[in-house]
Amino acid sequence: MARNKPVVATVFGVLNVALGGLGVMGWLWTIARTARFLARSGWRPGYRLWWVTSHCLGLILAGVLVLAGVGLLTLKPWGRWVSIGYSICAIVFVIASAAVNALLLAAHGHVVWGAAAGLARVLAGLLYPVVLLVFMLHPTVAAVLKEACAPQPGSGPSA
């Protein structure tokens, strides 16, 4: 008798793969389109370093989100742990990005734009990582994934 897949693992697995895949494509597109401009622009070296670092980290986080989704879809307990790790890293990344971008805009005299951009980035960027973290930390999700991985009675080798 086949078990039903846990709904939470399927929903977040699909969301992780879809959002992570879009993230990978978006980061690659942004890096490809902006890298040439960045090389010849008059941006300060500190901002250039932040841009390259943040875009590489964003690309890595998007890839980790895809991996977490695959783990959840295949009902592996590590999919939950990778999702939790992704959420924590993404939350830190979003807050750091918003702070650095707001400070850089404020340094150029754009205090209001810096604050507005930072707040909008935090609100939009934290939505999915926080929801994912809340669901993955719920005790029933861990129990459901553990149960899904447990061997069914009578399915092992017969003696």
* Residue 2 belongs to some domain of the structure: no
User: Range with the lowest mean pLDDT among 71-75, 77-81, 129-133, 143-147?
Assistant: 143-147
The DSSP symbol for 11 reads H
* Residue 159 belongs to some domain of the structure: no
Given a cut of 80, whether residue 4 has pLDDT beyond it is no
Q: Render 13-40 in DSSP notation, one character per residue.
A: HHHHHHHHHHHHHHHHHHHHHHHHHHHH
* Residue 101 belongs to some domain of the structure: yes
Question: What percentage of residues in the chain have a pLDDT greater than 70?
Answer: 78
Q: Using alpha carbons only, how large is the chain's radius of gyration in Å? A: 20
The single-letter code of the amino acid at 134 is V
* Residue 75 belongs to some domain of the structure: yes
Structure confidence at residue 1 (pLDDT) = 40
* Residue 154 belongs to some domain of the structure: no
The residue that leads in pLDDT, 1 or 2, is 2
Neighbours of 99 (CB within 10 A): 14
**The residue count for the chain:** 159
Check if the beta carbon of residue 96 is closer than 8 Å to that of residue 43: no
Check if the beta carbon of residue 71 is closer than 8 Å to that of residue 10: no
Q: Which range marks the domain in which residue 87 is found?
A: 7-149
Residue from 19, 56, 21, 61 nearest 35 by CA: 56
Structural domain count of the chain: 1
Structure confidence at residue 28 (pLDDT) = 92
* Residue 1 belongs to some domain of the structure: no
H and E: helices and strands count for the chain:
5, 0
* Residue 124 belongs to some domain of the structure: yes
* Residue 109 belongs to some domain of the structure: yes
